[in-house]
A and B are shown apart, each in its own frame.
Chain A
Amino acid sequence: MSETVAVPASIDTSVPKNYLNHDKSIKSWLLTLDHKRIALLYLVTISIVFLVAGVLALLVRAELFTAGETLMKPDTYNQFFSLHGILMVFLFIVPSVPAIMGNFVMPMQLGAIDVAFPRLNLASYYIYLIGGVLVVTAILAGNIDTGWTFYTPYSARLGSSVIFMTLAVFIAGFSSILTGLNFIVTIHKMRAPGLTWNRLPLFVWSIYATSIVQVLATPVIGITMLLLLLEKTLQIGIFDPALGGDPILFQHFFWFYSHPAVYIMILPAFGIISDLMGVFSRHEVQGYKFVALSSVAIAFLGFLVWGHHMFVSGQSAISSIVFSLITYLIGIPTGVKVLNWVGTMYRGSVSFKTPMLYALSFLFLFTIGGLTGVALGVLGLDIHLHDTYFVVAHFHYVMMGGTVIAAIGGLHYWWPKITGKMYNETMGSIAAVLIFIGFNVTFFTQFVLGTKGMPRRYYDYQIQYEALHQISTVGSWILASGLFLVLFTFIHSLMKGKKAGSNPWGAATLEWTHTASPPSPHNFDEQPIVTHGPYDYHALARVSGDGAAQTSEPELSESRH
């Protein structure tokens, strides 16, 4: 069919070969070793997961519109919220930013032609896909209603579908490990000449910290899922109290991965926001070193706080106290980041392009999410708020208001680079505002519901909660319309978007300054040599003003202030 479609000859000759059009066969896509194409494979797959899990969320919210039965039976409801959680956490948000934007952007920001192990990169994608297939199998096998946490002993006694689901999580974890490993080695070994650690874009720093967490934490969910599998099939009695096991031990195992996983989800978002703040404030990101190292600090501290998910599980009081205290500490590096972002805007001149609107939404929503997290770390308060909608609201503010918003912002920001086309700025901005409003209507309400005592995951509720539930559900529709508008904006851009220049935002990182939009198959025509920092817009202006290529200019960023 592609043969018969008439392609205007002018385009065919004038467009230089880029990574999208140099080979159009399906095989060249499915067996590609190009990090950019792999990123797009992930983009499509992960977007489908997001769509499915998002629709599940809408259905769950719709069911809660009235007390009692609205749309579905309780069992269906339990399965829907479980699947929403499992899909969103393990197949959407954990791989999202690293696998899509990390893959696409990070090697280019390093000035590398690809990641360190391109074959491994492709393998990670297919392993992820196998995980996805197993999830579908598990859904077809039916009745997964464990929530995304798979707590024992319930999960160990449920039907065989749990086996598929735990295998799926195990295998998806493998994909995550291999991606992390690949990225760490890439960042260590593939940096362009002159790209010292102090000149790495903050997005790279955050991907680096994320990858370390992935490599260290993910194997533990592997062994946990394996033990759960054996508990289920052979009744090995490690987690099941009826056999002499300890269900709280399962929670330790689970959260040793799943709490650091929270930072796998949020750290890349921090990186995107740092880059956006720099570019759209046209100012060097304030406190570069602190922002970079706070990612590493968060990654480390993230391993020491998993027990704050277990304050009411019956774990020892001493461990609750230790975990609670360390939880407060995470506020410090996180605060360092937020302050520096605000400082960057204060010193720079802000342009309110769509990506920046998302960055501002992020700043607002993530701050709420983070602060309520510290509140939940308070032992006494947590007894009241545990397992209520307050917790649900908190982690949606961090995961959705933080990561997803940052990811959408980043996607807008890198869209011209990925596709070579601009999107419609008006539509983009309207979508950003809709998402911001819809999100707050949906989830701020849930903070109120939670403090009033509405427990999470319940199918039915007392009539006095109904009004707030209805507001929340209406919010979910606004949110969804905003998200669909984003999808529409992107499709519109693909069909009718204006051609993007190589550096439409005037950014100073290598993927903008040294590659075409879209980039050529090997990214760079010649090996770039880095002579200035990632947010040194003055140096950039000088270079482009002279019309000169990168020469061995002296380092200017230090002397400027």
Chain B
Amino acid sequence: MDHASHGHHITPKSLLIKVFGSLILLTILTVAVSRVHLGALNVPVAIAIAVVKMMLVVTVFMAVKWDNKVNALVIGLSALFVSIFLIFTLFDTAYRGDLSNVDRVPISDQQRQQSAEMAPADAGAAASEMPASGH
């Protein structure tokens, strides 16, 4: 009966409700997990939960599960190219300065450090900004 009209798939109401419920639960879960200190694990866990939520929306709400496979391929492609963009950019930014003649520290940071080193010398106003360097 759900498949009645037009030859198009009609996603059952009960399934939509179940998915909606899971999405709510996962949202609560991701907030809860972020309150717990997991160190390096916090980020991957948060992203993993987001990916699961995305899959639920894509497969059921967007009905890719019952759709033409070409559309699923199209989605896969976009994910692939986003990863390429991200990973290949990180090849640079995460390893910036691995050539010894390029400083790893950006110029703006070097300037900040320099002014921080100069700060204790002229005392007064600068010292109040930098309590850590006090007496």
Q: Do chains A and B touch in the complex (CB under 8 A)?
A: yes
What is the interface of chain A, defined by CB distance below 8 A to chain B?
A: 188, 212, 216, 220, 241-244, 246, 248-249, 252, 256, 303-304, 306-307, 310, 314-319, 322-323
Specify the chain B residue showing the minimal Cβ separation from A243: B108
Interface pair B85/A319, CB less than 8 Å apart:
no
Interface pair A241/B106, CB less than 8 Å apart:
yes
Interface pair A244/B70, CB less than 8 Å apart:
no
Interface flags for B9-51 (1: CB within 8 Å of A; 0: not) read: 0000000000000000000000000000000000000000000
Interface pair B99/A246, CB less than 8 Å apart:
no
For A256, the chain B residues whose CB sits under 8 A away are: 85, 89
- A318 and B87 CA atoms in complex are apart in Å by 12
Rank and list the top 8 A-B pairs by shortest CB-CB distance, nearest first.
A316-B95, A319-B91, A319-B92, A315-B92, A317-B99, A316-B92, A252-B89, A316-B98
Interface pair B88/A315, CB less than 8 Å apart:
no
25 examples of A-B residue contacts, CB within 8 angstroms: A220-B85, A241-B108, A242-B108, A244-B106, A248-B92, A248-B93, A248-B96, A252-B89, A252-B92, A256-B85, A303-B81, A303-B84, A307-B92, A315-B96, A316-B91, A316-B93, A316-B95, A316-B96, A316-B98, A317-B98, A317-B99, A318-B91, A318-B95, A319-B91, A322-B88
- A306 and B91 CA atoms in complex are apart in Å by 12
B107 interface residue per 8 A CB criterion: yes
- Minimum CB–CB distance from B87 to chain A (whole Å) comes to 10
B77 interface residue per 8 A CB criterion: yes
For B93, the chain A residues whose CB sits under 8 A away are: 246, 248-249, 252, 316
Interface pair B98/A307, CB less than 8 Å apart:
no
Interface pair A319/B99, CB less than 8 Å apart:
no
B78 interface residue per 8 A CB criterion: yes
Known contacts A241-B107, A316-B91, A323-B88; 8 additional CB pairs below 8 A are A220-B85, A248-B92, A249-B89, A252-B89, A256-B89, A315-B92, A316-B98, A317-B98
Specify the chain A residue showing the minimal Cβ separation from B99: A317
- A246 and B70 CA atoms in complex are apart in Å by 38
For B108, the chain A residues whose CB sits under 8 A away are: 241-244
For B84, the chain A residues whose CB sits under 8 A away are: 303-304
A319 and B78 in contact, given A304-B88, A314-B102 (Cβ under 8 angstroms): no
